[in-house]
């Protein structure tokens, strides 16, 4: 299907942008009309950033799965909704048509109902990249249960934290997932988490890796058995639950600058309108496209641009279970050639890591199906941008550099493929409906061009977060209290002489490691939990492939303790958060540089980690200036 809101020329972009600022409500109402609402909204927008209170399409009734699935059956029922490419290149790919997917979603929605899941219940999904993960997500949405997908790389402790925070009584997982040459024992990890979570009533387990798992009677059930039960009940139908536009659709946990990850909440109506709008426009979607987003569904990118955005547009979306370097570094190009991928959306980290393998992996691969390239997740250096454009794009395909966040639901700043201009290293211009501003440290807006500041957004857009689960005050303080009446992104940005934005990176204590968001405080808490550690400070440093690496400075109780090895501390971090949070460098230091009031001077530690030891600024006000020299001497 084609949406009338697709922007097809630079002038149309300008017009749409102007309308979206002059008359935001009219602008979004026109777009929202393209969807199926059981009942139309009473009011397009109600908002204030003080509380914050953000309501889009209030009074509207709908179910997002009717828009993703049912609505398409009459026209594109036989079109592939998902193509699944497995981890290895020998297992057959699987294709799920819209009709097929609709059937399977209803079937599994009935499984959820049989197991007691009701509207508003939270369901934690901990799976690998199998089609059943998307089916589980959509089945939750079908019955109005709130899904919270946890990335398969997180530890048992992280899952337990999320179970507690969301008070989720239901889990969907699988025995083990296959990734590269590893099998991740997902059910085992869930079992470790469940020791702390007696409130969990049901755990539904899909078989994939066929590894042995423990199944507790009454609590754990097999996906396949439950499907059989539904089949024997005879009625394959599962009518969609009628949802209010502002009912929560999902929670996705993400790291911040303090403490535990927070549960970002997205709601049904606004998220639907925004993901579809941004998908169609950024990638300039065409009905014949094969869209391949390499992200994991455990992150927002997978939610918005593997599942919801593409399905809302009636697109064919490719789910890839593997990794770019398995069985070799040509795998992405094999997948592109095999499935005639036309849109490839990946992360700068993946590009940089493939750059290391040179041109050989491209040999003999037919990439002529590609039409649009995209990147997301971190700033892309110009070298990687050019390499991507040259090797994947034959130096002619448009590259979209899409800036957004878990909290924004969809892309906010990006060029529109082939329509608005691109510029290496720049996310370029805001989408219609998005009003970015740059602020200085004193709360003053930086007007005009050729300025750098903290990136904020001054007007709501339908895809924005509504709250952080169970703690609205945290949502307010994190995003809406730094600057009056603005949403603060946590990113710094430069606006060039033409008004184009370049995102320079986080200005808070959040790291971006291989496109994964990790809070320094979270890593410090984990390190500090380790026996014999007095305190620690974690900072980021530039890393050639990962974008940022994790540098940990650690003070030990007894520096001669032979039982304390780097590996032990790494293990603690892996247990408490997951392997993605393991420091790349661990330096044991006698003390941390502190101000007289006892505050750790991170600025100095960051500079040392970056190798800028000559330029540390004034250290005389430190309580312990002598440690700085010692830290520099021991630098890794």
User: Which residues contact ligand WT7 by CB under 6 A?
Assistant: 254, 299-301, 376-379, 401-406, 427, 489-491, 503, 505-506, 512, 517
State in angstroms the smallest separation of the CB of 380 from ligand WT7.
7
State in angstroms the smallest separation of the CB of 262 from ligand WT7.
11
State in angstroms the smallest separation of the CB of 143 from ligand WT7.
27
Question: For residue 269, which of 472, 34, 26, 18 has the smallest C-alpha distance?
Answer: 34
Q: Which is nearer to ligand WT7, 424 or 505 (CB)?
A: 505
State in angstroms the smallest separation of the CB of 212 from ligand WT7.
34
Q: Which is nearer to ligand WT7, 166 or 275 (CB)?
A: 275
Q: Which is nearer to ligand WT7, 303 or 371 (CB)?
A: 303
Q: Which is nearer to ligand WT7, 403 or 553 (CB)?
A: 403
State in angstroms the smallest separation of the CB of 375 from ligand WT7.
6
Q: Which is nearer to ligand WT7, 77 or 505 (CB)?
A: 505
Distance CA 500, CA 302 (A): 26
Distance CA 405, CA 410 (A): 7
Q: Which is nearer to ligand WT7, 254 or 467 (CB)?
A: 254
State in angstroms the smallest separation of the CB of 111 from ligand WT7.
30
Q: Which is nearer to ligand WT7, 20 or 512 (CB)?
A: 512
What distance lies between CA 290 and its chain's CA centroid? Answer: 21
State in angstroms the smallest separation of the CB of 464 from ligand WT7.
13
Q: Which is nearer to ligand WT7, 148 or 254 (CB)?
A: 254
Distance CA 483, CA 444 (A): 9
Q: What are the tokens at 466? A: 């509504």
Q: Which is nearer to ligand WT7, 337 or 507 (CB)?
A: 507
State the residue number with the nearest CB to ligand WT7: 406
State in angstroms the smallest separation of the CB of 275 from ligand WT7.
12
Rounded to 10°, the helix 223-233/98-114 angle is: 100
Q: Which is nearer to ligand WT7, 226 or 401 (CB)?
A: 401
Q: Which is nearer to ligand WT7, 200 or 252 (CB)?
A: 252
Determine how β-strand 122-126 pairs with β-strand 170-174. Answer: parallel
Q: Which is nearer to ligand WT7, 131 or 302 (CB)?
A: 302
State in angstroms the smallest separation of the CB of 512 from ligand WT7.
5
State in angstroms the smallest separation of the CB of 278 from ligand WT7.
11
Determine how β-strand 146-149 pairs with β-strand 122-126. Answer: parallel
State in angstroms the smallest separation of the CB of 79 from ligand WT7.
27
Residues 6 or more apart whose CB falls under 8 angstroms from that of 338 comprise 85, 93
Q: Which is nearer to ligand WT7, 506 or 530 (CB)?
A: 506
Reduced to 3 states (helix: H, G, I; strand: E, B; else coil), residue 582 is coil
Q: Which is nearer to ligand WT7, 275 or 301 (CB)?
A: 301
Residues 6 or more apart whose CB falls under 8 angstroms from that of 263 comprise 148, 162, 165, 166, 251, 252, 253, 468, 469, 470
Determine how β-strand 467-468 pairs with β-strand 262-267. Answer: antiparallel
Q: Which is nearer to ligand WT7, 128 or 377 (CB)?
A: 377
587, β-bridge pairs: 553
State in angstroms the smallest separation of the CB of 148 from ligand WT7.
15
State in angstroms the smallest separation of the CB of 344 from ligand WT7.
15
Neighbours of 350 (CB within 10 A): 22
555, β-bridge pairs: 535
State in angstroms the smallest separation of the CB of 477 from ligand WT7.
17
Neighbours of 476 (CB within 10 A): 16
Question: How many alpha carbons lie under 13 Å from residue 172 in its C-beta half-sphere?
Answer: 29
Nearest 10 degrees: Cα torsion 265, 16, 58, 143? -50
DSSP for 59-106, written as a single string: T-EE-HHIIIIIHHHHHHTTSEEEEEE-SSSSSPPEEEEHHHHHHHHH
Name the one residue in this structure whose structure tokens are 């009940």: 233
State in angstroms the smallest separation of the CB of 273 from ligand WT7.
18
Which segments within 430-532 are labelled E, that is strand?
436-439, 445-446, 451-457, 467-468, 487-495, 501-506, 510-513, 516-519
Question: For residue 319, which of 545, 612, 556, 82 has the smallest C-alpha distance?
Answer: 82
Nearest 10 degrees: Cα torsion 22, 27, 29, 30? 140
State in angstroms the smallest separation of the CB of 282 from ligand WT7.
11
Residue 9: is it exposed, middle or buried by C-beta count within 10 angstroms (0-12/13-18/19+)? Answer: exposed
Distance CA 238, CA 142 (A): 8
Q: Which is nearer to ligand WT7, 503 or 586 (CB)?
A: 503
Distance CA 29, CA 24 (A): 8
Given a contact cutoff of 8 angstroms between Cβ atoms, the answer to whether 142 and 64 are in contact is no
Distance CA 499, CA 102 (A): 44
Q: What are the tokens at 136? A: 């589980």
């Amino acid at each position: 299907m084609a949406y009338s809101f697709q922007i097809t020329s630079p002038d149309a972009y300008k017009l749409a942008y102007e309308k979206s600022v002059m008359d935001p409500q009219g602008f979004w109402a026109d777009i929202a009309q393209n969807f199926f609402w059981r009942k139309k909204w009473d009011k397009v927008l109600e908002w204030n950033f003080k509380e914050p209170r953000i309501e889009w399409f209030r009074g509207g009734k709908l179910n997002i799965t009717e828009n993703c699935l049912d609505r398409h059956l009459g026209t594109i029922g036989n079109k592939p909704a998902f193509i699944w490419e497995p981890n290895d290149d020998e297992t057959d790919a699987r294709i799920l048509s819209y009709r097929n997917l609709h059937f399977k979603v209803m079937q599994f929605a009935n499984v959820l109902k049989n197991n007691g899941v009701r509207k508003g219940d939270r369901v934690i999904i901990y799976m690998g990249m199998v089609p059943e993960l998307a089916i589980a997500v959509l089945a939750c949405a079908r019955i109005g249960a709130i899904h919270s997908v946890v990335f398969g790389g997180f530890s048992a402790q992280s899952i337990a934290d999320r179970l507690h925070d969301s008070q989720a009584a239901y889990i969907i997982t699988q025995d083990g997932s296959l990734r590269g040459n590893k099998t991740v024992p997902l059910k085992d990890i869930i079992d470790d988490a469940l020791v702390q979570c007696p409130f969990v009533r049901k755990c539904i387990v899909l078989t994939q890796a066929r590894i042995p798992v423990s199944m507790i009677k009454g609590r754990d059930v097999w996906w396949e058995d439950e499907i059989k039960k539904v089949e024997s009940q005879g009625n394959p139908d599962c009518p969609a639950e009628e949802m209010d536009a502002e009912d929560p659709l999902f929670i996705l946990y993400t790291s911040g600058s303090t403490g535990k990850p927070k549960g970002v909440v997205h709601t049904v109506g606004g998220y639907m309108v925004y993901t579809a709008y941004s998908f169609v426009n950024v990638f300039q979607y065409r009905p014949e496209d094969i869209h391949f987003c390499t992200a994991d569904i455990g992150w927002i990118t997978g939610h918005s641009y593997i599942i919801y955005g593409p399905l809302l547009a009636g697109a064919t979306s490719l789910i890839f279970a593997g990794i770019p370097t398995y069985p070799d570094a040509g795998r992405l190009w094999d997948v592109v050639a095999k499935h005639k991928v036309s849109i490839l959306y990946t992360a700068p980290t993946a590009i940089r890591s493939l750059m290391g393998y040179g041109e050989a992996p491209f040999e003999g691969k037919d990439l002529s199906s590609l039409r649009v390239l995209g990147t997301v997740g971190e700033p892309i250096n110009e070298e990687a941008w050019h390499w991507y454009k040259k090797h994947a794009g034959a130096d002619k395909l448009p590259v979209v550099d899409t800036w957004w966040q878990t909290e924004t639901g969809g892309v906010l700043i990006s060029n529109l493929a082939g329509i608005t201009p691109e510029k290496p290293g720049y996310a370029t211009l805001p989408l219609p409906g998005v009003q970015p501003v740059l602020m200085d440290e004193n709360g003053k807006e930086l007007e005009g061009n050729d300025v750098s500041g903290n990136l904020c957004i001054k007007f709501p857009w339908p895809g924005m977060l509504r709250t952080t689960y169970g703690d609205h005050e945290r949502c307010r303080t994190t995003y809406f209290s730094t600057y009056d009446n603005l949403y603060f992104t946590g990113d710094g940005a430069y606006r060039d002489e033409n008004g184009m934005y370049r995102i320079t990176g986080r200005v808070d204590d959040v790291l971006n490691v291989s496109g994964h968001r990790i809070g320094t405080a979270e890593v410090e808490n984990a390190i500090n939990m380790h026996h014999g550690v007095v305190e620690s400070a974690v900072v980021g440093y530039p890393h050639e492939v990962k974008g940022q690496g994790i540098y940990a400075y650690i003070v030990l109780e007894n520096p001669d303790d032979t039982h304390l090895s780097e590996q032990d501390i790494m293990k603690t971090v892996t247990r408490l958060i997951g392997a993605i949070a393991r420091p790349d460098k661990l330096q044991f230091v006698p003390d941390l540089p502190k101000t007289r009031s006892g505050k750790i001077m991170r600025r100095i530690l960051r500079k040392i980690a970056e190798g800028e030891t000559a330029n540390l600024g004034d250290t005389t006000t430190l309580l312990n200036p002598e440690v700085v020299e010692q830290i520099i001497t021991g630098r890794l």
